[in-house]
Amino acid sequence: MAAVAAVIVPAVPAAQAAPDHSGPLAVVAPGASTTLSVVARSDSAPFASPEGPGTAPAPRGRGGSGAATGEGLVWLTLKAPADSWASALDTSAVVDVAVDGGPAQQVVVFYGGQAFTYEGFVGPLSVGRHQVSVHVSQQLSHSLTAPPAVDVVAVRLVVVPATSPAYWAEAYAPVLYGRSTSAVRYTPLLTDAATVANADGSHIVSYALVISAHDQGDSIVPAYQWGTWGRMTDLVSILTETVAPNGSVTSATYASCGCESLPYYPDRVMSPQETSASFAGTWWGHHPVLRDATATNYLSDQGTTAFRFQAAPVAAPPAGDLRSAVMDLNPWTYYVDNQELPREHVISTDPATLAVGDVAQYAIIDANLTVTNGASVAVDIRLAGDPTWYSNDYRQATAGVASTFPFHGSGHWRTVVKLPPGWGAGSLAAVQLRLDVPPGTADPSVVVHSFAVLEITPGWSVVAAALPPLGVVTGTSIEPVGVPG
């Protein structure tokens, strides 16, 4: 077999922004508002300050009235001390945010009482002084036993000039109307953007959406969702646009629910059809307006809801990485997911059960393989000082007899192996690929293009575990289902 090339994922600090050392600028009571005068400054590298825990740093550019224009961003560092995303009763405060009296966008304060910087786009903006209003919505907040007051820790306004490489991603990001559950569960955590510059001066911009948990579909059987995708969030590639050199959009396609003609289609029901469709809805400036319309988070270009999200995108993973790797780059997404899961599933940290465990106890496998003879691929792990083989098809749950459920074969994919909590404090004694084929099939082979075992640390960063030499064994498939296409 070929040599193994490990994917190295650098550690990312749990607090991606500057720590908060000061008191709040304002404490906003339920139903109340505050207006702050803020100087907008230019910043050509907004991706260097993605949304995340902590207080956003000041933009790197200069202020001054009318000196420059571009796409405006608002960075708000907020706390909701009475709320927690882990609570079914006091889950989140929701704030309405507007700049200079423009349309309000909603921010779900899903990080509770911890300082977190939420970032949204606001349309064209000039550097200089502007008015930012923050209103705590009693109607939209889900805080049943405690008033959903919000601490406004910091507010920044950013102008991304048209000369910035990030301009295209920021200026053409979608307005997304969220589901009715957005203050409680299945809320948008982040949108990422990947931009390709063409030789003719046009740009192709694609966006993917990470939702805090997976509602229906694969997650009806959580072990299947986790084994298939290596995560329990939902991630949907929602929009691709081609932007001409003059700034006009020449094409836009989105992840369609197939329910556009059904305006009252319930958003707690799976999409009747999941397909790609040409965008035919309304625009807010350069921004197409979409709606998360179904339980599987596929979209409609028709209709609105009470939740208008204008998430400023973060950078997509580098070319060649899976889109899921955006969670590794923004590891707080695993933390939020881990808070929501106990409200959705029965939890057991026993690695011998298929029940949902603690997110951090799962080893995430990122593999890019080519296999022969139609083999499905399982991943087995043995820990130092522990004779048990743990696998992504749960051989630890069946007295060492693997189910051989064919989660994956050839290709670049992710899966997970449920391990004892705290496994990262030790070392991996053995890691092997098990190539499962039906009885009578010739021995398969595998070429390993890349392979990594990723750990979510106690501080909620993602690191690549040190690997022993990767083994390869052949198994007999007892699961009659073929490898997913």
- Which residue reads 């469709």 in tokens? 277
Asked if residue 19 has pLDDT above 60, the reply is no
pLDDT at 315: 97
* Class of residue 473 by CB neighbours under 10 A (exposed 0-12, middle 13-18, buried 19+): exposed
User: How many Å apart are CA 274 and CA 29, to the nearest integer?
Assistant: 41
Report the pLDDT value the prediction gives residue 214, as an integer from 0 to 100.
83
Sign of CA dihedral 239, 127, 157, 21: positive
Q: Which two tokens stand for residue 399?
A: 């007295």
- Say if residue 67's pLDDT is above 60: no
- The residue with greater pLDDT, 157 or 398, is 157
Q: Which two tokens stand for residue 341?
A: 């899961």
For the cut 60, the answer to whether the pLDDT of residue 165 exceeds it is yes
∠182-302-70 over CA atoms, to 5°? 75
Q: Quick one: tokens of 100?
A: 């200079």
How many angstroms separate the CA atoms of 162 and 39, rounded? Answer: 19
Q: In this predicted model, what pLDDT tens digit does every residue of 77-118 receive, in sequence order? A: 999 999 999 999 999 999 999 999 999 999 999 999 999 999
Tokens of 402: 């693997």
| 300: Cα separation from own chain's centroid | 20
- Residue-level pLDDT at 62: 58
Beta-bridge partner residues of 99: 132
pLDDT tens string 169-188: 999 999 999 999 999 999 99
pLDDT score at 57? 80
Mean pLDDT of the chain: 91
Structure token pair of residue 411? 């290709």
Is the per-residue pLDDT at 485 higher than 50?
no
Higher pLDDT pick, 319 / 222 = 319
Q: Residue 225 contacts by C-beta under 8 Å, 6 or more apart in sequence?
A: 214, 217, 218, 219, 232
Confidence of residue 13 (pLDDT cuts 50, 70, 90): very low
CA distance 331 to 210: 12
> pLDDT tier at 66 (50, 70, 90 boundaries)?
very low
What is the Cα–Cα distance from 207 to 237, expressed in whole angstroms? 6
pLDDT reading at 54 higher than 60: yes
What is the pLDDT, as a whole number, of residue 219?
55
| pLDDT over threshold 70, residue 432 | yes
Between 342-346, 418-422, 427-431, the lowest mean confidence (pLDDT) is in 342-346
3-state secondary structure the chain: CCCCCCCCCCCCCCCCCECCCCCCCEEECCCCEEEEEEEEEECCCHHHCCCEECECCCCCCCCCCCCCEEEEEEEEEEECCCCCCCCCCEEEEEEEEEECCCCCEEEEECCCCCCEEEEEEEEEEECEEEEEEEEECCCCCEECCCCCCEEEEEEEEEEECCCCCCHHHHHCCCEEECCCCCCCCCCEEEEEEEEEECCCCCEEEEEEEEECCCCCHHHHCHHHHHHHHCCCCEEEEEEEEEECCCCCEEEEEEEECCCCCCCCCCCCCCCCCCEEEECCCCEECCEEEEEECCCCCCEECCCCCCCEECECCEECCCCCCCHHHHHHHCCHHHHHHHHHHHHCCCECCCCCCCCECCHHHEEEEEEEEEECCCCEEEEEEEECCCCCEEECCCHHHCCCCCCCCCCECCEEEEEEEECCCCHHHCCEEEEEEEEEECCCCCCCCEEEEEEEEEEECCCCCEEECCCCCEEEEEEECCCCCCCCC
How would you class 240 by CB atoms within 10 Å of its CB: exposed for 0-12, middle for 13-18, buried for 19 or more? middle
Which of 123, 25, 42, 33 shows the shortest CA–CA distance to 76? 25
Token pair belonging to 287: 């921004």
First-to-last alpha carbon distance for the chain, in angstroms, is 24
> What digits encode the pLDDT tens for the residues 176-230?
999 999 999 999 999 999 999 999 999 999 999 999 998 765 556 788 889 999 9
Band (pLDDT 50/70/90 cuts) for residue 298 is very high
Q: Residues 363-410: pLDDT tens digits? A: 999 999 999 988 899 999 999 999 999 999 988 887 777 778 889 999
Task: Check whether 441 has a pLDDT greater than 90.
Answer: no
Q: Is the pLDDT of residue 4 over 70?
A: no
What confidence tier does 14 reach under pLDDT thresholds 50, 70, 90?
very low
pLDDT: is 23 or 47 the higher one? 47
Per-residue pLDDT at 303? 95
What are the beta bridge partners of residue 177? 291, 308
Read off the pLDDT of each residue in 408-416 and give the average, rounded to a whole number: 96
Let me know if domain 18-163 sits in CATH 2.60.120.
yes
Q: How far apart are CA 438 and CA 446, in angstroms?
A: 16
In 3D, which of 105, 176, 174, 38 has the Cα closest to residue 94?
A: 105
Q: What is the pLDDT of residue 480?
A: 52
pLDDT of residue 263: 80
Q: Which amino acid is at 114?
A: Q
238 within 8 A of 290, measured Cβ to Cβ: yes
